[in-house]
């Protein structure tokens, strides 16, 4: 699992990642005519943010409009993450805030959605008594019934994990969007039993969505003005769907090709890849289509073979390095990012150095970096002792972050003088005199506003400056 938005450590880590903010409030403009309103916050991975858009669509059909003001909401929801302890602590604090609002506004319901709902349903309902609804990631269709039960004074609970649910027939209600980029969920769950990860226990087994509904959603987004979609899953490369009528099977490389055919102006990204599953077919498909971005998130987690075995990652250091070689061989200008965990059980200083060295070898453009946080119920929790002192974990993480900042700056500096095709996403946060957008390698590019251009347009930008997080340049004809 990757694309984590929560971070337990250093402030300067924010400089090396580019991701939605933890606890982002997902809203659209409040529509008139709704008698009831919901307020939702999302934490954790991008799958949670995508799920919140599915929830919004279900609630809209039940007559709920969205609101930015939690104090006027009839229904307050928090979509949760269990991947790290800090995320759970943050959610508990937010629930106490919501509880005060609930006491002041009779009739307001508070619900917990997602992974934390499945893990901690008993504590949330019985011990802390802060919520009225507890809804797991596969039970969102049941929300109307659960809300009705809660209105009648009962506790609305459904944390059943499904082997079939993909929400393929639900059109997500795009919330908090720039109208240019969007996520499309292509599969749910995970069959990889990485020893540190709780996702298989909170999101269930892998199941892939109907390929034609994915293409249809991509086409609909393009027709509405979106110009970039990210195909989303815990492990997208293991996508596999069989047409029940023709028995024809579709793998991830074939799915990407189908989406790429929607329109040449629609960019395609994907996340996340498990190293063991990303195939040569995927890489050659990326090379074949200009609108499939040259960027791969390929979590390594550790650079040491013994630790990787303890993590149950199913590859070793040498195998991963060969995969990096293959990617750069087929797609020389590909950018690769990663996940790293510092201080996993029994990790020695020498093994930590292996992680630093593999970072240098892979030349990651950026990374998501954490120290190990033991999660109850995981294989590591049952089998290994969390024996690395916190101060050692933090020290090792600090070294990983410092090195990644250095590598990112070096990689970005090599882009000075190059010209990239950039999709304008809007104006820069720092100045409305600058546009912001991303190139194919998923690097943020800042450049002066030019009259006649707008979000959704493609431009060529020559790079003149670079730091560890951003490229700067000027539009060229």
Structural domain includes residue 334: yes
The domain tally of the chain equals 3
147 and 45 in one domain?
A: yes
150 and 29 in one domain?
A: yes
What pLDDT is attached to residue 452? 95
Residue whose token pair is 């040491």:
304
Is residue 371 over pLDDT 80?
yes
What pLDDT is attached to residue 48? 82
**What is the CATH number for 427?**
2.40.50.140
- The residue with greater pLDDT, 419 or 205, is 419
Spatial CB neighbours of 321, under 8 Å, sequence gap ≥ 6 = 358, 361, 362
**What is the CATH number for 220?**
3.80.30.20
457 and 392 in one domain?
A: no
| Tokens matching residue 455 | 């979000």
245 and 328 in one domain?
A: yes
201 and 121 in one domain?
A: no
Structural domain includes residue 275: yes
Spatial CB neighbours of 470, under 8 Å, sequence gap ≥ 6 = 412, 443, 444, 445, 446
Structural domain includes residue 175: no
For residues 339 and 367, the answer to whether their CB atoms sit within 8 Å is yes
Is residue 98 over pLDDT 80?
yes
Is residue 467 over pLDDT 90?
yes
378 and 446 in one domain?
A: no
Structural domain includes residue 164: no
339 and 214 in one domain?
A: yes
303 and 200 in one domain?
A: yes
Domain residues for the domain of 470 are 419-476
Q: Is 29 exposed, middle or buried (0-12, 13-18, 19+ CB in 10 A)?
A: exposed
Q: What is the pLDDT of residues 144-202, one digit of tens each?
A: 999 999 988 888 889 888 888 889 889 888 876 789 999 999 999 999 999 999 888 88
* Triad 5, 227, 367: Cα angle to 5°: 30
């Amino acid at each position: 699992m990757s694309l984590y938005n929560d971070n337990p450590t250093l402030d300067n880590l924010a400089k090396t990642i580019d991701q939605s903010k933890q606890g982002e409030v997902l809203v659209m403009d409040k529509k008139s005519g709704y008698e009831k309103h919901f307020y939702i916050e999302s934490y954790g991975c991008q799958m949670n943010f995508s799920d919140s858009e599915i929830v919004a669509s279900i609630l809209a059909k039940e007559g709920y409009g969205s609101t930015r003001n939690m104090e006027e909401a009839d229904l307050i929801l928090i979509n949760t993450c269990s991947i790290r302890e800090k995320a759970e602590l943050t959610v508990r604090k937010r629930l106490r805030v919501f509880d005060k609002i609930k006491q002041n506004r009779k009739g307001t319901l508070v619900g917990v959605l997602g992974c934390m709902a499945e893990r901690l349903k008993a504590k949330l309902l019985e011990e802390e008594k802060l919520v009225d609804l507890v809804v797991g990631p596969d039970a969102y269709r049941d929300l109307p019934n659960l809300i009705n039960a809660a209105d009648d004074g009962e506790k609305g609970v459904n944390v059943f994990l499904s082997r079939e649910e993909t929400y393929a027939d639900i059109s997500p209600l795009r919330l908090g969007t720039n109208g240019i980029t969007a996520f499309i969920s292509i599969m749910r769950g995970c069959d990889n039993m990485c020893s540190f990860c709780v996702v298989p226990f909170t999101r269930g087994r892998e199941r892939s969505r109907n390929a034609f509904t994915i293409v249809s959603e991509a086409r609909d987004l393009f027709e509405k003005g979106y110009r970039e979609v990210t195909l989303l899953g815990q492990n997208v490369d293991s996508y596999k769907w069989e047409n029940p009528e023709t028995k024809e099977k579709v793998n991830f490389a074939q799915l990407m090709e189908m989406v790429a055919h929607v329109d040449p102006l629609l960019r395609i990204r994907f996340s996340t890849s498990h190293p063991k599953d990303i195939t040569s077919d995927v890489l050659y498909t990326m090379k074949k289509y200009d609108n499939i971005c040259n960027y791969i998130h390929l979590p390594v987690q550790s650079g040491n073979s013994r630790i990787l075995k303890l993590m149950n990652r199913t590859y070793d250091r040498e195998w991963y390095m060969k995969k990096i070689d293959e990617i750069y061989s087929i797609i020389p200008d590909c950018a690769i990012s990663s996940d790293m965990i510092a201080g996993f059980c029994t990790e020695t200083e020498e093994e930590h150095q292996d992680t630093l060295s593999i970072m240098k070898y892979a030349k990651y453009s950026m990374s998501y970096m954490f120290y190990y946080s033991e999660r109850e119920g995981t294989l590591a929790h049952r089998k290994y002792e969390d024996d690395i002192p916190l101060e050692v974990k933090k020290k090792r993480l600090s070294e990983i972050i410092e090195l990644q900042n250095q590598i990112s700056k070096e990689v970005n500096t090599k882009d000075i003088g190059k010209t990239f095709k950039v999709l304008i996403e809007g104006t820069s946060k720092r100045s409305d005199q600058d546009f912001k957008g991303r190139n194919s390698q998923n690097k943020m590019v800042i450049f002066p506003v030019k009259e006649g251009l707008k979000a959704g347009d493609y431009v060529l930008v020559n790079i003149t400056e670079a730091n560890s997080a951003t490229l700067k340049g000027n539009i060229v004809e």
